[in-house]
Structure 1
Amino acid sequence: MKMPASIRSFALCVIVAVPLAAFAREQSLLEYGEQCAREIGAIPPFNCNDGTDIPITVNGKPPARGEAPKLCDKPSLLHPTVEVPGQCVPFSRILNLSRGDTQISAYCRRDKLRDDKDPVYDEVVVVAHHAGNGKTCWFDSRSPVGADGIDASRVPPPNERTPPQGHPSAVEFWTTPAKIAAAKPTCISCHDAGPFIFSPYIGQVWDKVPTDPWGKYTSIGPAFSSFHPATISTPGNTCIGCHRIGSDQSCAAYIGLSTGRLPAPGNSRLANGYPLSHWMPTDNNMSRDQWNAANVRSVDALLSCCTDKIHRNPNCTFTSIPGSANGR
């Protein structure tokens, strides 16, 4: 018996729709955590209080006990273009959980002033990266509704299904990869040249941060499949000698912030003056005139490329980062 054409078409739609629906299903936190552990390396449980304090100073001096200044010499640039609470709050911490090629950096952020050893933090961010294959994962803590901060005395591995009694599970602690990818600007927009970013704030504890400025770099997981980071360069540019320059938030914020073209939100008067206003190169010990002679032309060239949306400027080279084809 021959099947009518309309039924055949319906049957074909059903057969095709099932795998498409399965493919479009959002990857869960645990699935993402397991993929990252498998392809990069497992993130161990950790206590934020085991990390290293990130110093806060105003005019070169730490604030008085119990004081959280609104402006400081080296504010956090987690939000590089807008003023947010916590940019100058003391006792945020950084941890290096790396081993071998598995590079893991954890940032435990205070938005509210608390005692140094208080186990409560306001945000926990983890970047996991493999220096060999370039694969990278992003994790950010949930913001519990109605809660005053997060108990970070035991931060669970993102793939942990059953935590020890009395501690939050991974699903309770971490947000989903889809929500991280949907944030504006997203992690990859700011980390557009590599997994780890230097700033004056984090540079104070740079020896506690893993680095891979020229290595392969790709964010794995379907939530990040639409992101394809690229870098920019121009002939003889002095700004690309130590690391790549990204074409997303590097253009929108970091080139200007690091060269005195933009004041960082949270900057003190000292931070807005030379040399703190010009923190690239990181070992800047030049006079203002020397810095200008060495770098202004290169900065102008990069910013010109940033506005070249259709890539017509022959002096601008846009290059995909090696390994940037997304892995699911």
Structure 2
Amino acid sequence: MTRIASLVALYLVAAFTALAPRPGAARDPGVLEYGAQCAKEIGAIPAFNCNDGTDIPITVDGKPPAPGTAPKQCDRPSLLSPLSPTEGQCTPYSKILNLTRGNIQISAYCRRNVLRDRTDPHYDEVIVVLHHADNGKTCWFDSQPPPDSGGWNATRVPPPNEATPPRGRPSAVEFWATPAKIAANKPTCIECHDAGPFIFSPYIGQVWDKVPTDPWGKYSNLGAAFASYHLKTMSTPGNTCIGCHRIGSEQSCTVFLRLSAGRKAAPGNDALANRYPLSHWMPTDNTMSEAQWNAANVKSVDDLLACCNDKNHPNPNCTFTPMPPGGTVR
């Protein structure tokens, strides 16, 4: 072999070595590859128009805000970032769509951070949860930041596995963030959705009939970006909180248990949101007085919070159970 050929060979080996994944490293697929995997193992997400969704109401002291205004605090803020005063917690005209067909559960949330007319086609973020109620597999899709402050024209949100969009429409690669980018946002989708794919809050509870639910079903997450999460649920003897759904051990411990039991106030809460009964989310059909609620539930909340604080040295009253995993390809 000539010296030049040897140098070329060494260069090619070095190049391929640099490109090869490190042993044990999680390889992150692009949008189209992840979208194709999710479509195969769960089901396809159709193209949709955010303006076909149902408005999520915003009220202040029980009344809609004045036209053309977006309050900083409200009765039921969105809680997308529950511990920070994120822009848009109380902005009107965000929408929810239920695109479910059979066991293929698809929930789409079209979020407004900027006040616009109710029928304006532009949205600042689009989030889709794709879940199969039979095999338990779940995928997460979040839009890229809009190309400018005008937001995304979401009259046709592209399927994440669509290679070629119609002329003049954004492509899936342009519109959707990669799994790695989604997983890098803290807390991650999975850390918040630690007990199942769909979360109840006072905000989303206003349109709960438009949200698919699977509180006791199998639940696992597709994609290398989410492979490090091994979710567990918590219980204690005679606990009233686990009568309707599971309690996760991630952000449920850090945030949601306290928020839902009147122990913590979100930055977007107004005075009404911080008072009983809005300050206590569960049960969703609550008709109890505050004294009755406390008598029925305070011990259960305290027991779960004690487990949250003792996850590394669990006391005998705390049971941590691995999430029932997903099954085979549908």
Q: TM-score, normalised by structure 2?
A: 0.91
Could you say which residue in structure 2 is the equivalent of 1:217?
219
Which one-letter code corresponds to 2:220 in the other structure? T
Structure 1: stretches of 5+ with no match in the other structure: 1-10
Q: Structure 1 counterpart of 2:87, which letter?
A: P
- Structure 1 residues 32 and 264: alpha-carbon distance in aligned structure 2, compared to 1, 3 A threshold: same
Shift of 1:284: 1.0
Distance 1:23 1:72, change over 3 A: closer
1:228·1:324 contact (CA, 8 Å) conserved in 2?
no
Q: What letter matches 1:144 in structure 2?
A: P
Unmatched 5+ stretches in structure 2: 1-12
Compared with structure 1, are the counterparts of its residues 37 and 273 closer, same or farther at alpha carbon in structure 2 (3 Å cutoff)? Answer: same
In 1, Cα distance between equivalents of 2:297 and 2:328: 34
1:121 maps to 123
Partner of 1:71, secondary structure, is coil
Structure 2 CA distance, aligned partners of 1:92 and 1:38?
Answer: 30
Q: Greater CA deviation, 263-272 or 45-54?
A: 263-272
Does structure 2 retain, via aligned residues, the 8 Å contact 1:239–1:295?
A: yes
- 2:67 corresponds to which residue? 65
Deviation at 1:310, TM superposition (A): 1.1
Distance in 1 (alpha carbons) for counterparts of 2:147 and 2:155: 19
Cα distance, 1:146 vs structure 2: 3.4
Q: Which amino acid aligns with 2:322?
A: S
Aligned to 2:9: none
Tell me if structure 2 keeps the 8 A contact 1:57–1:63.
Answer: yes
Q: Distance in 1 between matches of 2:117 and 2:23?
A: 49
Deviations 1:199-256 (A, max 9, x none): 0000000000000000000001111110111100000000000000000000011000
CA distance in 2, matches of 1:272, 1:291: 16
Supply the distance in 2 between the matched residues of 1:177 and 1:18 (Cα, whole angstroms). Answer: 19
Cα separation, partners in 2 of 1:319 and 1:24, compared to 1, 3 Å: closer
Q: How does 1:270-309 map to 2 (within 5 A)?
A: 270-309=272-311
Q: Name the structure 1 match of 2:323.
A: 321
The answer to whether the 8 Å contact 1:97/1:106 transfers is yes
Q: Please show how residues 61-210 of structure 1 align to structure 2 within 5 Å.
A: 61-210=63-212
Query: 1 CA distance for matches of 2:229 and 2:327?
Result: 9
> How high is the TM-score relative to the length of structure 1?
0.92
Percent of aligned pairs with the same residue?
70
Equivalent residue letter for 1:172: E
Q: Distance in 2 between matches of 1:52 and 1:18?
A: 46
